[in-house]
């Protein structure tokens, strides 16, 4: 009897109370991510003088469209160019004539056009090429690429002659198709090529940074350097970070004395030099002295090193053997290093305040590259507008968001795919409701980011991609996935055999007794039926 009760009630009860809970997941939607392809819209506007004929306008539009479409290759990520060509408006003509008559600087014209078109708002991702009419800024001979998303082209008798120049600016400055595609492929390990400096310089798929500034003084007996790092951060770094508000950043600083470089620089005359091949060896001994700042974000270190008196002046040589103009170098994914020489001969006392403008200018230039920005090669027949190195142009900002979006989408798709495979392979791993919600949120954000890219809304695409990355990683690293409800088979046997073996013997014996009892009751009923039949026959007789 006990055995039957165990089978009918005990086993189902044990199975349902010990089974692993697994929330349902959209495995089919996750599988589709492996074939994810992205298209991003690029809006281009061409403004030409009214003296041009309508026929020239249409011909130029078609030729530009054909040349831009030739940039599209069979990548997982491709641009879709939308071109709008029109004549200059009356307001635009008036502004150009006014600035030309005043002989205004091109920088002022750049800002005036931005204010005319957008006021205090951003450019909405529209790249504008404006051809100057005849007689306007006649001294201008070269295409001017400004701080915003518009390029000013001097008067040309044949606007078709500038076609190649426009395509070059779009390809090399505004939209670097290969760089954007490489950001997606590198993060997803698709078509991975040999690593070069551009591939390894920035940390991939990082949404926040802990920025650490350190002043290293190797000889406090002869000089005590002092820096107003708080004022420098507020004056130079914060305006830069305000242009990239969607990156989570925190800042700390410290001053360390008696920290010497563990290398013997080469002496040449009265100066000392650190060769390019020796620069990587500076990081390890210094890093051990930097300490660590508790942060969930990736750390970027920026070091100002004041060499000792017996090694001053100390200079850095670049790859070509020339002295680096900034006397600094960058370490990929780690940070930047500036050597600050102090002339000790004219010191009234040993306290010296550092000049922070040049230091912060170098650090911000390095920070741009460490965040994922790309160095710009100035196109032929074009010049980049004059702007401070502590600033970030609008086209640099847009390019950064577009690159980061590709990285985030790529990493989140790989994370979700890996998680789905893991959960399918290990059938008794817990899948909680919170994991289900995180995966669903990641899939939704990936789709929203994809739609925003197709509509040319780069900032929205970045924010949705960032949400997808956060949700996918929260799901993958959820503590409940590795809860103790998951055991390998050998551990299951080790746990259940000592439990079930002792109680299985009486249960099995009880089952045998029950089977015998059932067989005995059946035999008895058959015997009774046989005995009844003769009695019934006698009664009939």
- In the three-class reduction of DSSP (H, G, I as helix; E, B as strand; rest coil), residue 456 is classed as coil
The answer to the question of residue 245 being in a domain is: yes
CB 471 within 8 A of CB 445: yes
Q: 171 and 210: one domain? A: no
Q: 319 and 467: one domain? A: no
d(CA 325, CA 270): 18
Tell me: the pLDDT tens digits for 92-125?
889 988 888 888 888 888 888 888 888 766 667 8
The answer to the question of residue 197 being in a domain is: no
Name 114's Cβ contacts closer than 8 Å, sequence gap at least 6: 123, 148, 150
Tell me: the pLDDT tens digits for 488-519?
667 766 777 777 777 777 777 776 777 777 77
Residue holding tokens 């002339």? 343
The answer to the question of residue 186 being in a domain is: no
Q: 366 and 461: one domain? A: no
Domain that holds residue 405: 401-506
Q: 78 and 153: one domain? A: yes
Q: 367 and 406: one domain? A: no
Q: 441 and 348: one domain? A: no
d(CA 310, CA 217): 13
Residue holding tokens 């006021």? 119
Most confident of 118-132, 192-206, 390-404, 462-476: 462-476
54-61 long-range contacts (CB < 8 A, ≥24 apart) are 56/159, 56/160, 57/85, 57/86, 57/87, 58/85, 59/160, 60/85, 60/159, 60/160, 60/163, 61/85
Q: 321 and 367: one domain? A: yes
In this model, does residue 214 exceed pLDDT 80? yes
Number of domains in the chain: 3
The answer to the question of residue 525 being in a domain is: no
Residue 3: per-residue pLDDT: 57
Q: 309 and 420: one domain? A: no
Instruction: Tell me which DSSP letter residue 147 carries.
Output: S
Q: 125 and 243: one domain? A: no
Q: 360 and 257: one domain? A: yes
Min mean pLDDT across 3-17, 414-428, 524-538 is at 524-538
The answer to the question of residue 293 being in a domain is: yes
Q: 287 and 359: one domain? A: yes
Min mean pLDDT across 169-173, 210-214, 326-330 is at 169-173
Q: What is the pTM of this model?
A: 0.81
Give the count of beta carbons closer than 10 Å to the beta carbon of residue 518: 11
Q: 245 and 361: one domain? A: yes
CA-wise closest residue to 449 among 440, 459, 439: 459
The answer to the question of residue 57 being in a domain is: yes
Tell me: the pLDDT tens digits for 279-301?
888 887 787 777 666 677 888 99
User: Measured in Å, how far apart are the chain's first and last C-alpha atoms?
Assistant: 45
The answer to the question of residue 382 being in a domain is: no
Question: Residue 484's pLDDT band (boundaries 50, 70, 90)?
Answer: very low
Tell me: the pLDDT tens digits for 360-371?
999 999 998 888
Specify the higher pLDDT residue, 62 or 378. 62
Which of 121, 153, 175 finishes a domain? 175
In this model, does residue 192 exceed pLDDT 50? no
Q: Average pLDDT of 54-71?
A: 78
Residue 529: per-residue pLDDT: 59
Residue 118: per-residue pLDDT: 82
Specify the higher pLDDT residue, 177 or 364. 364
Mean pLDDT of the chain: 81
Specify the higher pLDDT residue, 245 or 458. 458
Residue holding tokens 């990936």? 446
The answer to the question of residue 250 being in a domain is: yes
Question: Residue 486's pLDDT band (boundaries 50, 70, 90)?
Answer: low
Tell me: the pLDDT tens digits for 313-355?
899 988 888 888 889 999 888 899 999 998 877 666 778 889 9
């Amino acid at each position: 009897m006990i055995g039957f009760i165990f089978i009918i009630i005990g086993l189902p009860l044990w199975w349902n109370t010990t089974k692993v809970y697994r929330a349902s997941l959209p495995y089919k939607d996750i599988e589709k991510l492996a074939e994810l392809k992205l298209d991003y819209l690029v809006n281009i506007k061409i403004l030409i003088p009214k003296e041009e004929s309508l026929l020239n306008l249409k011909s130029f539009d078609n030729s530009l469209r054909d040349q831009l479409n030739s940039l599209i290759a069979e990548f997982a990520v491709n641009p879709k160019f939308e071109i709008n060509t029109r004549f200059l408006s009356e307001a635009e003509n008036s502004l150009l004539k006014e600035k030309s008559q005043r002989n205004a600087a091109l920088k002022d014209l750049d800002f005036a056009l931005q204010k005319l078109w957008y006021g205090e708002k951003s450019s909405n991702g529209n790249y504008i090429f404006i051809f100057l009419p005849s007689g306007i800024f006649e001294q201008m001979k070269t295409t001017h690429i400004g701080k915003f998303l518009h390029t000013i082209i001097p008067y040309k008798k044949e606007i078709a002659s500038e076609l190649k120049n426009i395509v070059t600016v779009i390809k090399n400055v505004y939209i670097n198709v290969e760089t954007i595609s490489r950001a997606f492929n590198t993060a997803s390990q698709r078509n991975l090529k040999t690593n070069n400096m551009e591939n390894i310089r920035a940390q991939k798929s990082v949404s926040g940074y802990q920025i650490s500034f350190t002043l290293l003084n190797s000889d406090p007996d002869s000089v005590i350097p002092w820096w107003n790092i708080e004022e420098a951060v507020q004056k130079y770094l914060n305006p830069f970070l305000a242009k990239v508000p969607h990156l989570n950043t925190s800042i700390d600083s410290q001053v360390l004395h008696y920290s010497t470089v563990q290398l013997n620089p080469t002496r040449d005359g009265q100066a000392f030099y650190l060769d390019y091949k020796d620069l990587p060896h500076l990081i390890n001994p210094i890093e051990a002295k930097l300490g660590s700042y508790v942060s969930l974000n990736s750390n970027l270190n920026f070091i100002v090193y004041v060499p000792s008196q017996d090694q001053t002046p100390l200079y850095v040589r670049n790859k070509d053997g020339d002295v680096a103009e900034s006397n600094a170098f960058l370490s990929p994914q780690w940070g930047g290093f500036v050597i600050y020489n102090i002339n000790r001969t004219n010191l009234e006392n040993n306290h010296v305040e550092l000049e922070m403008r040049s230091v912060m200018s170098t650090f911000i230039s390095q920070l741009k590259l460490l965040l994922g920005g790309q160095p710009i090669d100035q196109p032929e027949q074009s010049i980049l507008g004059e702007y401070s190195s502590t600033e970030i142009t609008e086209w640099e900002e847009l390019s950064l968001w577009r690159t980061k979006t590709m990285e985030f989408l790529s990493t989140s798709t790989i994370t979700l795919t890996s998680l789905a495979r893991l959960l399918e392979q290990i059938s008794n791993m817990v899948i909680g409701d919170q994991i289900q919600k995180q995966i669903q949120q990641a899939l939704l954000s990936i789709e929203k980011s994809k739609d925003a890219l197709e509509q040319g809304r780069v900032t929205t695409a970045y924010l949705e991609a960032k949400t997808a990355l956060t949700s996918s990683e929260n799901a993958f690293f959820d503590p409940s996935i590795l809860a103790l409800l998951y055991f390998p088979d050998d551990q299951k046997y080790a746990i259940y055999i000592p439990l079930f073996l002792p109680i299985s013997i009486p249960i099995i014996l009880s089952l045998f007794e029950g089977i015998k009892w059932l067989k005995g009751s059946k035999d008895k009923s058959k015997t009774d039926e046989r005995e009844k039949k003769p009695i019934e026959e006698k009664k009939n007789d």
